[in-house]
């Protein structure tokens, strides 16, 4: 691989990892303070990045909140699908959901 391609690949991976870290940090702040009371400054501090870096990745808090909600709903849907496909009675499946 030529150095330029390697550099671009490494840069893209670093950017992807930083974005994942920002999302995880935002999720932690939202859980702790609630979405309405959380600020972009809170998220930047949690992620240990500058506020300008945060705004470069996510210009609005609503984008972050929407992305996190979609992720959580997708994870929940997957769990529901797994439980609905397993054998057992309806009550056993409900017990599994509540666990």
Q: Which domains does the chain have, with CATH numbers?
A: 3-98 (1.10.357.10)
pTM of the model: 0.77
**What would the pLDDT profile of 20-36 be if each residue is shown by its tens digit?**
999 999 999 999 999 99
- pLDDT at residue 59 is higher than 90: yes
pLDDT band per the 50, 70, 90 thresholds, residue 83 = confident
Question: How far from chain centre, in Å, is Cα 66?
Answer: 10
- pLDDT value of position 40: 97
% residues pLDDT > 70 (the chain): 99
Q: Angle, nearest 10°, between helix axes 90-98 and 61-85?
A: 140
User: Taking all residues of the chain, what is their mean pLDDT, rounded to a whole number?
Assistant: 91
Quickly list H helices, the chain. Answer: 3-33, 40-47, 51-57, 61-85, 90-98
Q: Identify the pLDDT of residue 99.
A: 75
Q: What is the CA radius of gyration of the chain?
A: 19
């Amino acid at each position: 691989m030529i150095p330029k391609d390697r550099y671009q690949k490494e840069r893209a991976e670093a950017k992807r990892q930083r974005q994942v870290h920002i999302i995880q940090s935002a999720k932690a702040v939202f859980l702790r303070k609630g979405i309405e009371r959380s600020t972009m400054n809170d998220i930047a501090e949690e992620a240990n990045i500058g506020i300008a870096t945060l705004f470069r990745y996510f210009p609005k808090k609503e984008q972050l909140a929407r992305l996190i909600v979609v992720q959580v709903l997708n994870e929940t849907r997957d769990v529901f699908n797994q439980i609905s496909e397993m054998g057992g009675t309806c009550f056993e499946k409900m017990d599994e959901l509540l666990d």
